[in-house]
Copies of this chain bind each other. A is one copy, B any other.
């Protein structure tokens, strides 16, 4: 069985693969906060357990076994976040650090029970998909709000950044998933947008923020 340390490597490998396609040693090093030699030796280790494919000086890729293992950890992480928000009353900005620890618990029934109590959710509180119990995750490709043309109306469905800083920013602007947003205008100089939501307030959102808001069109 993989140690917590190994599990953290696999999970970051899994997330970086989906975000950027390729994963190299220096990226892992900075994401994990450990030195490159440490990553190098751990990767050799994971290779011995057939969890990754690796050749000297080439990017690291997860094996099928590694992908499934990683997906099941991500599943535990996201189910935990959902449970903390929906069943225990935490804010979406508070749950990541707790889930980071709970994801390493080995107790299948514990997570099955969470899943049941939550009604088998398919996304976490930040809109990220929850892999199923076989480790299959649907790839959701949403638009950035920054790519939407003025006059259009969309629904906020997920976030490309779940850092607590960003989540607190969204709290301060009363932005929540599921909200309908209408793009009133876009400033050509800095790409900032004026957005109104649900007939109430309207806010100016910088390009940086709009790039992190993932939306789908109102059908």
Q: Is the CB of B101 within 8 A of A105?
A: yes
Point out the residue from B101, B109, B117 that lies within 8 Å of A106, measured CB to CB. B101
Chain A interface category by residue count:
10 to 19
Q: Write out the residue numbers on chain B whose beta carbons fall within 8 Å of the beta carbon of A88.
A: 110, 113-114, 117
Point out the residue from B94, B105, B117 that lies within 8 Å of A109, measured CB to CB. B94
A97 at the interface (CB under 8 A from B): yes
A2 at the interface (CB under 8 A from B): no
Q: Is the CB of A101 within 8 A of B107?
A: yes
A73 CB, nearest partner CB in chain B, Å: 15
A170 at the interface (CB under 8 A from B): no
A101 CA / B76 CA spacing, docked (Å) = 15
Give residues in A with beta carbon < 8 Å to B. Answer: 84, 88-90, 94, 97-98, 101-102, 105-107, 109-110, 113-114, 117
